[in-house]
Structure 1
């Protein structure tokens, strides 16, 4: 396979690690800048909101620009923003440094998937998606470990900056020039917006991601406050969470290949179950190790389930357009989840965040039984 595909996967790993890597150091940032943990959570939710809002506009405005130039530009912005984050003198500057790359985040993702599909079809796309998958399960423990190892929260931002730098150099040296084009979404793509099944799946996607991140966004704080773990133990637990997530990602892919709807419903029930266990056994060390392992293995399925359920129900000609909608919905869900989790923490304490995730998952589970006829497109 063309080596440029692997470089794109590395770039995807860098930008997703930048987005989620802050999760593991939220308690530290909260103490460092003297803000509440729910306020610190805006570093994640504001990033996701910006991605969700900017995605369709930034893509439409850059269709005629050389794709290699745009990819390098995005990674350059990520390198600079991570360095700005590391040297932020106060929380306001840190928030600005976080939001800056979020405007360009969807641009890298959309171009990477399009280039991968053109060069190597579904197999190449899966390689780029692997960069995302590994980042979502290992990016957090890596950045958390870096901060703990160097006893400095800035180390996590230096790490993500270095990852993006390597991808930037790879793009510059090994990816050929790719002229842009002036194509706009065709009538066949916009027509899919009349499909009620699409909207049902998009709503379910937002609910699923909101449920996942209402609790996962504050997992480090939960382990610190409820499980009474220190920085090293939390880093190990997050690494365990991520490692089991890789296994879960593989198992979920196999299960979805056999029966998408049954697997989706089982996923919802399993994620509910493991979070309820975390609530009742969160104060006991050994059971919590087992619970976090299971949680990580199940959690990663939340990225695959909505994607497969949604894309399998739309025409092949509209996949690129639908994927852009999914990108927005994923980030809307992440931002809403982080916001709701923060509100629960502010009012009831970090132990109660589980009870925000559970009703959201139950709603998504119930929606999986709603059937809309295929010929519902007007």
Structure 2
């Protein structure tokens, strides 16, 4: 079973590199297409918005197809879209091309998370889910910094070709090593309306939304912040993204270990520590050496956010896990979109050096909701 989970995590690595790989390349893309950094940020936010809006619909529409076939086809779309992106001369065509794989992103995520949850003991669920999320962490360790490095070393086009290669490796892994997966989720093609009557689900979703919005308000513009505030060059930014992701491996494992036993305490500590990190970024952002240490601890804490959010949502109900995970995926990507747009708004209005306050606002709202959740004893 562990082998199956790691194979699925390899696919998560590929599709997540596609979604977030542009984070480190945004300054180059903005310059190449002669658009503002806020407008370039739409390359991230439009992807997330498509996932958010169409996630549950795509899963329900394709529910009758074999799960492994859906995984293989989804990764094939990611390979093709990244190759096309490398040869597009117009910003808006690039934007449209990035929208295509976004439709299949939630299909892959929902099936992978469902397999992790359904094939493990309840006590081991957080660990199984953490294996799937290790693909996301690996994307921040290798995918995002490698994309940034390739863009700095050769061109932004080469970063898209690298991402296509990563997805190709993931496709080969899933095709060759993953056994056939039984259709265990929604097969009727109808919405499970009763899920939306569960107030526990809504509390978990709003908590996840504010947490992830806060995370991506600043992280979505990390490369631009390090370039313009910390005054780092392209290679140094690549190294910072690598350190961020490497620390995130440990952070993801720590979150998975404690979330199953102490969900409230783990979430509470996460919000406190991430708020503290953003305050340090705001205070020491222009200081080169302190920012190196801050980025490491930032990655250590940040990486557990998606896993913590997912467990808060999925533990709220015992209903159809694939559909619940598709709802979570939509919520998370709505939050990524909101965070990117809110961060872009703050940059345009207050400057890149003050972007951390966008994240701190979201974290405060998440803390209020968490305490409300605790008070009502969910």
Q: Please, what TM-score do these two structures have when normalized by structure 1? A: 0.91
Per mean C-alpha deviation after superposition, the further-off stretch among 289-298 and 127-136 is 127-136
Instruction: Map Cα deviations across residues 197-232 of structure 1 (whole Å, 9 max, x no partner).
Output: 221221111111111101000010000000001001
Partner residue, 2:264:
261
Partners of 1:137 and 1:300 within 8 A in 2: no
Instruction: Map Cα deviations across residues 278-321 of structure 1 (whole Å, 9 max, x no partner).
Output: 11111111111111111111111211221222223323x44433
Alignment of 1:327 with 2:329, yes or no, is yes
Partners of 1:185 and 1:321 within 8 A in 2: no
Secondary structure at the counterpart of residue 229 of structure 1: coil
Q: Please, what TM-score do these two structures have when normalized by structure 2? A: 0.91
Distance 1:68 1:319, change over 3 A: closer
2:233 aligned to which of 230, 233, 239: 230
Partner residue, 2:280:
277
Number of positions where the alignment pairs a residue of Structure 1 with one of Structure 2: 372
Distance 1:176 1:287, change over 3 A: closer
Per mean C-alpha deviation after superposition, the further-off stretch among 317-326 and 356-365 is 317-326
RMSD across aligned C-alpha pairs, in angstroms? Answer: 2.3
Alignment of 1:347 with 2:318, yes or no, is no
2:137 aligned to which of 109, 118, 133: 133
Secondary structure at the counterpart of residue 63 of structure 2: coil
Distance 1:303 1:25, change over 3 A: same
2:291 aligned to which of 285, 288, 302: 288
Per mean C-alpha deviation after superposition, the further-off stretch among 93-102 and 68-77 is 68-77
Partner residue, 2:71:
71
| CA distance in structure 1 between the aligned counterparts of 2:252 and 2:72, rounded to whole angstroms | 29
Instruction: Map Cα deviations across residues 99-118 of structure 1 (whole Å, 9 max, x no partner).
Output: 11001111112223344556
| CA distance in structure 2 between the aligned counterparts of 1:367 and 1:2, rounded to whole angstroms | 35
Partners of 1:197 and 1:374 within 8 A in 2: no
* Divergent runs of 4+, >6 A: none
Gap regions ≥5 residues in structure 1: none
Per mean C-alpha deviation after superposition, the further-off stretch among 361-370 and 127-136 is 127-136
| CA distance in structure 2 between the aligned counterparts of 1:109 and 1:284, rounded to whole angstroms | 38
| CA distance in structure 1 between the aligned counterparts of 2:182 and 2:362, rounded to whole angstroms | 43
| CA distance in structure 2 between the aligned counterparts of 1:233 and 1:126, rounded to whole angstroms | 29
Distance 1:356 1:114, change over 3 A: closer
| CA distance in structure 2 between the aligned counterparts of 1:164 and 1:293, rounded to whole angstroms | 27
Distance 1:300 1:174, change over 3 A: closer
Instruction: Map Cα deviations across residues 56-100 of structure 1 (whole Å, 9 max, x no partner).
Output: 111111112232322221111101100111111111111111111
Secondary structure at the counterpart of residue 372 of structure 2: coil
| CA distance in structure 2 between the aligned counterparts of 1:318 and 1:118, rounded to whole angstroms | 10
Partner residue, 1:108:
108
1:217 aligned to which of 201, 220, 230: 220
Matches within 5 A, 1:352-367: 352-367=354-369
